[in-house]
Amino acid sequence: MMRKVESQFGEGPLQQKLSTGDLHFLSDAEVSKGGGGTGPSPHEYLGAALAACTSMTLKMYASRKAMSLENAIVIVDIERVDDVEKFTRDIQLIGNLSAEEKDRLIEIANKCPIHKALAGQIQIKTQLVN
């Protein structure tokens, strides 16, 4: 089961202190957007989730299939166009891979759990707790 993530006010105008289990990290807005620039923005974390999940999924699959994948560099950019979040994911596969292996790895990238969550139906239940 996934650990819950907690957010609460941090230092400065918009910084948030995040924690999950024993891990602690920050989120903030860029200085140009009224924040302190002390951590990735929520949208950057969303992009990071997709990038990390893609890379992990490729590493696990390539390892299981004994492919010579030395690294998978994944860059995600998100922009909002006409009320639609548009994700651009660039993947660089490094290693001695055939064209067929590269094609298969790109198919596998589209099956990573975060890709499936973002592309599928999402429900958010918001509740006030005491």
Mean pLDDT estimate for the chain: 97
Pairing status of strand 84-95 against strand 69-81: antiparallel
50-61 average pLDDT score: 98
Question: Using 50, 70 and 90 to split pLDDT, how confident is the model at 1?
Answer: confident
- Triad 110, 73, 69: Cα angle to 5°: 80
What pTM does this model have? Answer: 0.94
- Triad 50, 55, 60: Cα angle to 5°: 125
Determine contact, residues 59/72, Cβ cutoff 8 Å.
yes
**% of residues, the chain, pLDDT over 70:** 100
